[in-house]
Structure 1
Amino acid sequence: MSTVAAFALALGLIFVNLTGHCDGALQVGFYRGKCGLLDVESIVRAVVTVKFLKDRTIAPALIRMQFHDCFVNGCDASILLDGNSTEKTAGPNLSVRGYEVIDAVKDAVEKFCPGVVSCADIIAIATRDVVYLSGGGKYSVETGRRDGFVSLAKNVKLPGPTITVSQSIAVFAEKGLDATDMVYLLGGHTIGVAHCNLFQARLYNYKNTGKPDPSMDLSLLETLKKMCPQNSTGFNTVNLDQNPKSASIVDNSFHKQIKMHRGVLQIDQDLALDSLTKATVDKVANGFDFSTKFGRAMVKMGAIQVLTGKQGEIRKSCRAVNRRF
């Protein structure tokens, strides 16, 4: 499909009417009527669809971007700002990508309705759209966020892959998310990859024992050792969902895999083993409503410490704050 044809197809629903309802300061359908006869979310969807058809790996990239943005200063698009010491330069964010997708969406909405749509909302809408394009549910995005001014690498303190379940629950609780939210949100690992250096110790020297992690499925252990040799650089990548039939689909396969001791990252596997989360993992793995509940958790995460009303600003470029005179 050509880029023009894909854009036209995706833009076909541009006059969709949205039903609004409020949840705190955010609202579904916030942009209705704010871009003339055009529907902002359809413009976003059109651009994102074209990008997705060219590169389906933007789906896990944008999910990760939203998580990394919301867990620092709240969902204020601070991760998008360029600079020598901005969040982009922090270690955990060096592998974050997808910025060009957000730029392309911003260019499109600025063309049709300049100064109206925040970069923070673009992240949320675009992420929802790639989840849907990857086979997940089409949840309703709450909008009305404004963009922040502050982006500092020193503020980036994200939970790492070796964090314990109890520690992770505490981190999520600080953001107003409970353990169930955490289990669903980490289910975003149903798509995407991890670099070997994030889990290599599990293969060769688990907790300084000189042996592999005994909780790992033996067939998975052998597979990962081939992908991640002991003396390699650790830059190779493997799918986080080890079911090859669903590694690019947003579903509950990830939870089924960790129940079978086939989790790649330590925190992922521990979700299925720890008494604090095991029952929830079992429920998700055996359930049929993952898409709906994953969407709800994404919406809840998207409301963390948002700027609304007259707070923040609507950036002209997602990479820089507006000039002040």
Structure 2
Amino acid sequence: MAIKSCLLVLPLALLLLGGSPPPAAAQLEVGYYSKTCPNAEAIVRNEMNKIISAAPSLAGPLLRLHFHDCFVRGCDASVLLNSTNGNKAERDAKPNRSLRGFGSVERVKAKLEAACPNTVSCADVLAIMARDAVVLAKGPTWPVPLGRRDGKVSSATEAADQLPPAFADVPLLTKIFASNGLDVKDLAVLSGAHTLGTAHCPSYADRLYNFSSGHSADPSLDSEYADRLRTRCKSVDDTATLSEMDPGSYRTFDTSYYRNVAKRRGLFQAYYNIVDVFFVIRVHANCQVYARIA
């Protein structure tokens, strides 16, 4: 099944990202809590069913939360730590100010603490919740190796410096991903996680207004799509408006993100950098289903 095999590549890339260096990851293994908290994953799944049932739009933010955690100091839950008087933490860095789902993580962690006090790390909770978010959004499942350790250091400066910016070009994205042990195929595949969720207007408004001296809007955007976005995002200062990253399918984990990007209907400029360089070379070669979207 071509579609199924393509969708399974994202979990594999997440596992590569999740295999972070110490202290975030020691010896990760599937079934790590089989003796100390045998129902850990079932507890998470049960609570996630309730969370996503009540708020389906949280699937994307919970997947994003795990990704943003892993890209800074590895998958150590440092994105959950609060700022203190002497330190501005990751969650308060500019790229993370729009992160959502912290309350859901606390809710799941509380259930685990009630069943198995001081046993399951917050880093593992994020990893399991990300997997379950994808599954509950009609995506594939995968075994999650566990045993991550929670970090005690959280820096907004590190987050701002290390997270991939929406405006990044391919050389910069390639460099950032390589620093996490990921190659260009992983970059193309992980970009497919944008099939879930929404984005705030300031993250893409510069493509709609005063783009350049010769163009009011980014010419790489489909003109009808650009017009539609402008009806929602009224200015670059609009901080309240949200737009679907995968129009018409933002609550479902599927391949439509790639179809939309190929039609020049993606929110972020980075989408087109990815498409221009290796969309056909990498993703098409590894996922034959995409041969039908051109």
TM-score, normalized by the shorter chain, greater than 0.5: yes
The 1:202–1:284 alpha-carbon spacing in structure 2 relative to 1, beyond 3 Å, is: farther
* Runs of 4+ deviating beyond 6 Å: none
Q: 2:253 aligns with which of 246, 250, 253?
A: 250
- The alignment status of 1:96 with 2:95, answered yes or no, reads no
- The alignment status of 1:222 with 2:230, answered yes or no, reads no
**2:66 matches 1:66:** yes
Q: Residue 9 of structure 2 corresponds to which residue in structure 1?
A: none
Q: Which runs of 5+ in 1 are unaligned?
A: 1-22, 289-325
**Structure 1 pair 227/284, CA: closer, same or farther in 2 (3 Å)?**
farther
Q: 1:149 aligns with which of 138, 152, 157?
A: 152
Other structure's SS at 2:243 match: strand
Q: If you compute each CA radius of gyration, which structure gives the higher value, 1 or 2?
A: 1
Offset of residue 287 of structure 1: 2.5
1:279 aligned residue = 281
Tell me if 1:161 matches 2:166: yes
What amino acid sits opposite 2:155 in the alignment?
Answer: L
Aligned mate of 2:242, from 237, 243, 250: 237
SS at match of 1:144: strand
Q: Percent identity?
A: 36
1:86 maps to 89
- Matched position secondary structure for 1:206: coil
Cα distance, 1:208–1:44 mapped onto 2, change above 3 Å: farther
Alignment of 1:80-229 (within 5 A): 80-84=80-84, 85-156=88-159, 157=161, 158-207=163-212, 209-229=214-234
State the Cα deviation string for residues 116-159 of structure 1 (Å, max 9, x = none).
10000000001100100001001111101010111121221212
Q: Is 1:260 equivalent to 2:263 in the alignment? A: yes
Residue matched to 2:77: 77
Amino acid at match of 2:28: L
Uncovered stretches (5+) of structure 2, i.e. residues with no partner: 1-18, 20-25
Identify if the C-alpha distance between structure 1 residues 286 and 252 changes in structure 2 by more than 3 Å, giving closer, same or farther.
farther
Equivalent residue for 2:30, pick from 28, 31, 50: 28
- The residue aligned with 1:52 is 52
Secondary structure at the counterpart of residue 194 of structure 1 = strand
Give, in angstroms, the shift of residue 207 of structure 1: 4.3
Amino acid at match of 1:253: S
SS at match of 2:208: helix
> Separation in 2 of the partners of 1:77 and 1:207?
40
Higher mean C-alpha displacement, 190-199 vs 83-92: 83-92
1:190 Cα deviation from its structure 2 partner: 0.2
Structure 2 equivalent of residue 6 of structure 1? none
TM-score for both structures, normalised by structure 2: 0.83
Measure, in 1, the Cα distance between the counterparts of 2:171 and 2:196: 24
SS in 2 for 1:26: strand
For 2:68 and 2:94, the matched residues in 1 are separated by: 12
Tell whether the 8 Å contact from 1:61 to 1:98 is kept in structure 2 after alignment. Answer: yes
| More helix by percentage | 2
1:184 and 1:285 mapped to 2: Cα distance?
Answer: 10
Alignment-mate amino acid for residue 194 of structure 1 = A
Q: Matches of 1:154 and 1:143 in 2, distance apart?
A: 28
Partners of 1:272 and 1:69 lie apart in 2 by 26
Q: In the alignment, residue 43 of structure 2 is paired with which amino acid?
A: I
Q: Report the AA paired with residue 233 of structure 1.
A: D
Deviates more, 1:279-288 or 1:194-203: 279-288
Q: CA deviation at 1:283?
A: 4.5
Between the aligned partners of 1:161 and 1:252, the Cα distance in structure 2 is 20
Q: 1:123 to 1:116 in 2, by over 3 A?
A: same
Is the Cα–Cα contact under 8 Å of residues 31 and 145 in structure 2 kept in the other structure? Answer: yes
**Shift in Å at residue 188 of structure 1?**
0.7
| Offset at residue 58 of structure 1 (A) | 1.4
Query: Residues of 2 paired with 1:207 and 1:278: CA distance?
Result: 28
- The answer on whether the counterparts of 2:198 and 2:250 sit within 8 Å (CA) in structure 1 is no
* Whole-angstrom CA distance in 2 between matches of 1:233 and 1:162: 18
For residues 193 and 208 of structure 1, do their structure 2 counterparts lie closer, same or farther at Cα, with a shift above 3 Å needed? farther
* Pairwise CA distance, 1:210: 4.2
Asked whether the equivalents of residues 26 and 144 of structure 1 are also in contact (C-alpha less than 8 Å), the reply is: yes
